[in-house]
Structure 1
Amino acid sequence: MTRALNKMSAAFVKSAPTGKHSDGGGLWLHRRSDGGAQWVLRVTVHGRRREMGLGSLSDTPLKQARMEAEKWRALARDGTDPIKEREKQRRQKARNLHMLGDVARDCFDARKAELKGDGTAGRWFSPLELHVLPRLGKVPVAEIDQIDIRDTLKPIWHDKAATARKAMERLSVCLQHGAALGLDVDLQAPAKARALLGAQRHKVTHIPFLPWQEVPAFYASLDQDTVTNLALRLLILTIGTRSRPLRYLRADQTLGDIWIVPADEMKGKRGTGADFRVPLSRQAMGVIDKARAHEKDGFLFPSVRKGVISDATMSRLMERRGMEARPHGFRSSFRTWCSEAAEAPWEIAEECLAHSTGGKVERSYKRTDFLEQRRELMQRWADFVDG
């Protein structure tokens, strides 16, 4: 038999005496002795009676209480516990309220192990921090769509193309992280935003480099044994290491004519566990011996104040001389020399530069770093550079 519904009037609810009053269908108004009142719904699920609060009378008028009661009664009729379902919905809502800023920082923390120096340099996170989070950081990730992303990156999409691409890529990783946390995220939003933004007009410019024929003259000009000059000379002679591992070179990393660079310091080898062995030419060992006179806190190229010389120190030396070329460009100088003058095998030249060669499967079977062949080639390069 159907139970009578809507027994109470709005006037009665307003002046109801202390006690419990039924509106039918399991909906009750409980008026307390202190004057306050609250709604309670009683339902039976799988033979078990359940009571759930529907809010206070001051916040929930009679009409709204009846609508809420019918919604939860319908679930109970289908065999769903309304109390558990409401708690589930609350948890889902709480998850969806995670702000992009929180998710991005959690994502960054999770990825630090695979980033150089645990990401302390900030280069992975900075595109987000500078160009995305100021506008979207306090927006729930569940609400971020392609329009939000387009409007955020549009000001830099063409003028700062490389930075905009990095920001888009980082944002996509953060959204994937949010999805892994169980958040309701639109993983296609970055791709759709990219389609809305269109192709970038920015033209890629490569780092200027010194023609290999001019390297010996420049190397000879670094005749004073200052920290910066010695660092530049060693960078030219050990071309595969890039700036960071060279600047952080410690005396205990060299053993005879081998410099062992930790994998975490090598671009492309982080996370592989494989250190990079650099064969040292006679000239390179001579530079290292001279650098030992400047050793401080274990570092061969220390800064005047604290730590090591900065990433820009060597660049500024070349800039002050009016040169367009930059330190990183010596890798191009060497690679061109390998092709045009040394006629070095392609794979050996690439290994000297610590480049990954071949496909993933091919690399998994590769069990050599061509140390002896590289030792011979690097000595030829050093002899050429040294004149």
Structure 2
Amino acid sequence: MPKKAQYRTDRWVASRKGPGRYAVGGVDGLHLRITSTGSRSWVLRVKVGDLRRDIGIGPYPFVTLEQARQEAFEIHKRIRDGADPLAKRREVRQAIKAQQAGDKTFSECAAAYIEAKAPEWKNPKHRQQWENTLSQYAYPVMGSLAVADIDLPHVLAVLEPIWTTKTETASRLRGRIESVLDWATVRKYRTGLNPARWKGHLDTILPARGKVQKVEHHKAMPIDDMPGFWRDLAGRDGMGARALQLVILTAARSGEVRGATWDEIDLDAKTWTIPASRMKAGAEHRVPLSDTAVALLKAVPRLEGCPYVFHSVRSGQLSDMSLTAVMRRMGLAAVPHGFRSTFRDWCGERTHYPRELAEQALAHTLANRVEAAYRRGDALEKRRDMMQAWADFLRGE
């Protein structure tokens, strides 16, 4: 028969100093454990099935000797009844975790969502845009609310004040709120339908975006004004003016031109290959360079150690306003992106080049999925003739 531990008193327990385990008696297996750092707690050594386990009962003196004996007695009783002595504790821990999950605020979930998704966003500005719109419009209304409690009235309180006056912003904000709430649902922070969903829900409450927002296209220059503008632009100095010329010659987006690097350009092959990572559609795009474009690039001064074709004064990439500033100084209301529209108008109204060729030059994604699936090549050489004809038109030839 195993030796019974001597029944110890509160005074005896308080007098223990050195690290170790001290049996206190009264209940089999109950010990006071003192660590090398001096912390004290109660531990019950019991046999559950074929295994011996240590079960913590709590810190001393927060849990008194009498309370420790009472809890140890209850654990022995549950074991005799065939119950898992830790089952109740696991249930309590799970309940606490569930409560903590439910208490996640919308702003906490939004921050976690942005952190998780930001690596897949091609443009670093997307993160800033997400954070700015949520901070300005959503957080003041529901940022501190538990994400589990957010419902339709909260979403409407965010969207309705700006839905008809800042429709584009409001529409994007709605989608961002919907994404955050979807993420929270998957992470078990909330349950139920998403109150920010559009189809079959908010579309029955808010007016359609197209009904309240007037579509404003980028201001473009008329076709017949292009040769005169080209002569004026060619006579201006500065990297911004040169970059704007390449935008026009290639019908590329200004961001693609501003980010162009010398290793993307093959002057001998007269080709500029823009990697997928810099393209809006996420696919590599080859741009045929006209003779005028090649001559322009050869004349651009290279800066040692700088990869960019059109660099700023600090050896970095040109800002997104640098090209617009050139046009403002020329007294124009049009914007750089509008030259893509002018190029498209020229193709359709002044030439016989097929529509598909012009769309490929603009790197537009085909809406017809079947057609897109069968289009393997990029008609580079056919587009080369078209871009040379465009350059000739600009030069008045």
Q: Do 1:294 and 1:301's aligned partners in 2 also have CA atoms closer than 8 Å? A: no
Indicate the residue corresponding to 2:274 in structure 1. Answer: 261
Q: Please give the per-residue CA displacement for 1:325-368, whole angstroms capped at 9, x wherever unaligned.
A: 11000111011111101122111111110001143344233211
Corresponding residue SS for 1:382:
helix
Structure 1 distance, partners of 2:70, 2:364, is: 70
Kindly report the root-mean-square deviation, in angstroms, between the aligned alpha carbons of the 2 structures: 3.0
What is the one-letter code of the residue matched to 1:143? D
What is the one-letter code of the residue matched to 1:261? I
Residue 299 (structure 2) aligned to one of 267, 290, 309: 290
Indicate the residue corresponding to 2:361 in structure 1. Answer: 352
What is the one-letter code of the residue matched to 2:208? A
Q: Which has the higher contact order (CA 8 A, sep 6+)?
A: 1
Q: Please give the per-residue CA displacement for 1:125-174, whole angstroms capped at 9, x wherever unaligned.
A: 43223322343222222111111111012222111111111111111112
Structure 1 unmatched ranges of 5 or more: 1-18, 21-30, 53-80
**Paired positions, count:** 326
Structure 2 unmatched ranges of 5 or more: 1-25, 28-61
Q: Do 2:182 and 2:194's aligned partners in 1 also have CA atoms closer than 8 Å? A: no
Structure 2 distance, partners of 1:283, 1:230, is: 12
1:322 CA drift (Å): 2.8
* Residue 99 (structure 2) pairs with residue 93 (structure 1): yes
Q: 1:355-370, aligned counterparts within 5 Å?
A: 355-370=364-379
Change in CA separation of 1:224 and 1:198 when aligned onto 2, cut-off 3 Å:
closer
Residue 226 (structure 2) aligned to one of 215, 220, 240: 215
* Residue 239 (structure 2) pairs with residue 227 (structure 1): yes
* Residue 173 (structure 2) pairs with residue 139 (structure 1): no
Identical columns (%): 32
Indicate the residue corresponding to 1:329 in structure 2. Answer: 338
Structure 1 distance, partners of 2:70, 2:241, is: 80
Give the structure-2-normalised TM-score: 0.73
Structure 1 distance, partners of 2:371, 2:79, is: 61
Q: Please give the per-residue CA displacement for 1:276-300, whole angstroms capped at 9, x wherever unaligned.
A: 1111111111111122346762212
Corresponding residue SS for 1:214:
helix
Indicate the residue corresponding to 1:304 in structure 2. Answer: 313
Indicate the residue corresponding to 1:158 in structure 2. Answer: 164
What is the one-letter code of the residue matched to 1:212? I
Give the structure-1-normalised TM-score: 0.75
Residue 48 (structure 1) aligned to one of 68, 79, 82: 82
Indicate the residue corresponding to 1:250 in structure 2. Answer: 261
Q: Do 2:114 and 2:127's aligned partners in 1 also have CA atoms closer than 8 Å? A: no
Q: Please give the per-residue CA displacement for 1:45-73, whole angstroms capped at 9, x wherever unaligned.
A: 99424568xxxxxxxxxxxxxxxxxxxxx
